Amino acid sequence: MNLSICHRLRDFFISTSIIISVVFSTAVFAENSAKLAPDFSLPGVDNSQINLADYRGKVVLVDFWASWCTPCIRSFPWMDEMVEKYGEQGFEIIAINMDQEAILAKKFLTRYPNKLTIAFDPQGVVAEQYEIMGLPNSFILNKQGEIVYKHVGFRLSELDKYEAEILSLLP
């Protein structure tokens, strides 16, 4: 194999591994390089309105999910536990449903009851602003409303890490 082909193959594998590591990385922001989370106002359960600006001063996990997403099903009990554990310390979760048909989300919520703040984004407008790369996709915001951590997927093996990230932002 000639040297130029070897170099091109090496460059291809380096580029591919960089792309894969970005797509599948979990914590992508350090607190000192955080950027302000896109603001949103979405319909919630029982005709309520969920405004991200109302959560300023709290640590917020914004989670994008859908009824058909198996990892989303696994994430709900953990998220519910985190709100129960840290809610009094100023931690909130806004779980944004991506189903285009509201009935699918309602069936899911009946089957998996929780204490989360649920919002609906059936057109994916907010998801597009957050540039989500899969479901579930979550963002942990500090009290200033900046995205500090981003997670694509939900891995049971990383629950301690997720919780430590939350705790690092609480008093």
Indicate whether 13 pLDDT > 70.
no
What's the whole-number average pLDDT of the chain? 86
pLDDT digits (tens, 9 = 90+) for 63-73: 999 999 999 99
Q: Classify residue 158: in a domain, yes or no.
A: yes
What pTM value is reported for the model? 0.81
Report d(CA 37, CA 29) in Å as an integer.
12
Look-up: residue for tokens 């963002």? 139
Give CA separation, 98 vs 72, 114, 162, 168, in Å: 11, 17, 22, 29
pLDDT of residue 105: 96
**Least confident window among 6-15, 52-61, 70-79, 82-91:** 6-15
In a domain, 116, yes or no: yes
- Contacts of 66 by beta carbon, 8 Å cutoff, 6+ apart: 72, 97, 98, 99, 104, 105, 135
Quote the pLDDT of residue 135.
97
Structural domain contains residue 5: no
% of the chain residues with pLDDT over 70: 81
Centroid of chain to Cα 37: 12
- pLDDT band for position 28 (cuts 50, 70, 90): very low
Specify the number of domains making up the chain.
1
- Among candidates 138, 59, 72, which has minimal Cα distance to 105? 72
pLDDT-based confidence at 33, cuts 50/70/90? Answer: low
Domain of residue 96: give its range.
27-169
In a domain, 157, yes or no: yes
Residue 81 lies in a domain: yes
In a domain, 135, yes or no: yes
Identify which has the larger pLDDT, 11 or 67: 67
CATH number of the domain to which 68 belongs? 3.40.30.10
- The three-point CA angle 22-72-119 to 5° equals 100
7 domain-assigned = no
Kindly state the average pLDDT of the residues 128-143: 97
* 145: in domain: yes
Is 58 a residue whose pLDDT tops 50? yes
Q: pLDDT for 144-158, tens place per residue? A: 999 999 999 999 999
